Amino acid sequence: MDRDIDEVKTVHLTDEVYAYLVAQAEPPGRVQEELVERTRALGREAQMQVPHEQGVFLTLLGKMLGARRIVEVGTFTGYSTLALAAGLVPGGRVLTCDVSEEWTSIAQEAWKAAGVGDRIELAIAPALETLRALPHEPVIDLVFLDADKPGYRAYWDELVPRLRPGGVIAADNVLYGGEAVDAGARGNALAIREFNAHVRADGRMESVMLPIADGLTLARKR
């Protein structure tokens, strides 16, 4: 079928198309399935868990980077942390930051069950405090940002200098349900809109925004 050169080429994700997309990813293991069910039991908060295909993407990204040092801002119940740990090289470590002992207690049980608990360091404290306490050497290979949206810019500013050349920051929810496109955005949507502008203006990084889940920006340090 011929298509207009200016036609949007992103496919509309009907339920059927989305199910097909998910089926092309490495299937979840038993621990992942159990973690999804336990997270769903939390109710409304469960929407903060990354979808499975995004987790598979994070694992592949870590493997492609040969990631030895990964930092995650926003642990929740640990599904994305599991994915990041699976992408580490032998001897690698994930530092994950959160403030909830309740949610991360679920995460720690899952990490132990999956056999990756020894690869993960959990910091229960405001993430900015944890990041500022890190050494200033540029040794981080991969960062996953998925936490409070007003904090994104500050996290970015702490992490970019600590990222090695060629290292990557993956920032989640950068479309914020489509609200980020609104020039009159408020609250979290405004914070994301301002963060996106900050990323594009940062000459130390090159970036692209991908329509994965709620929008995922990949930014590589020059």
pLDDT tens-digit profile of 105-159? 999 999 999 999 999 999 999 999 999 999 999 999 999 999 999 999 999 999 9
152 touches 194 (CB < 8 A):
no
Which uninterrupted H or E stretch holds 23?
helix 15-23
134 touches 178 (CB < 8 A):
no
> What residues contact residue 202 under an 8 Å CB cut-off, 6+ apart?
156, 160, 219
Distances (CA, A) of 156 to 101, 161, 213, 219: 24, 9, 21, 11
pLDDT tens profile 69-120: 999 999 999 999 999 999 999 999 999 999 999 999 999 999 999 999 999 9
Structure confidence at residue 50 (pLDDT)? 97
Confidence at 10, pLDDT banded by 50, 70, 90: confident
| Between residues 2 and 33, the one the model is more confident about | 33
In the predicted structure, residue 2 carries a pLDDT above the cut 70: no
In the predicted structure, residue 5 carries a pLDDT above the cut 70: no
Number of residues in the chain: 222
Average pLDDT (180-207) is 98
Structure tokens at 164: 């090695």
Q: Domains along the chain? A: 15-221 (3.40.50.150)
At 43, is the secondary structure helix, strand, or coil?
coil
pLDDT tens profile 47-69: 999 999 999 999 999 999 999 99
187 touches 147 (CB < 8 A):
no
Structure confidence at residue 1 (pLDDT)? 53
Confidence at 8, pLDDT banded by 50, 70, 90: confident
CA angle 79, 215, 81 (to 5 degrees): 15
At 172, is the secondary structure helix, strand, or coil?
strand
Alpha-carbon span 198 to 196, nearest angstrom: 5
> What residues contact residue 183 under an 8 Å CB cut-off, 6+ apart?
none
Alpha-carbon span 195 to 192, nearest angstrom: 5
Strand-pair partners of 124: 98
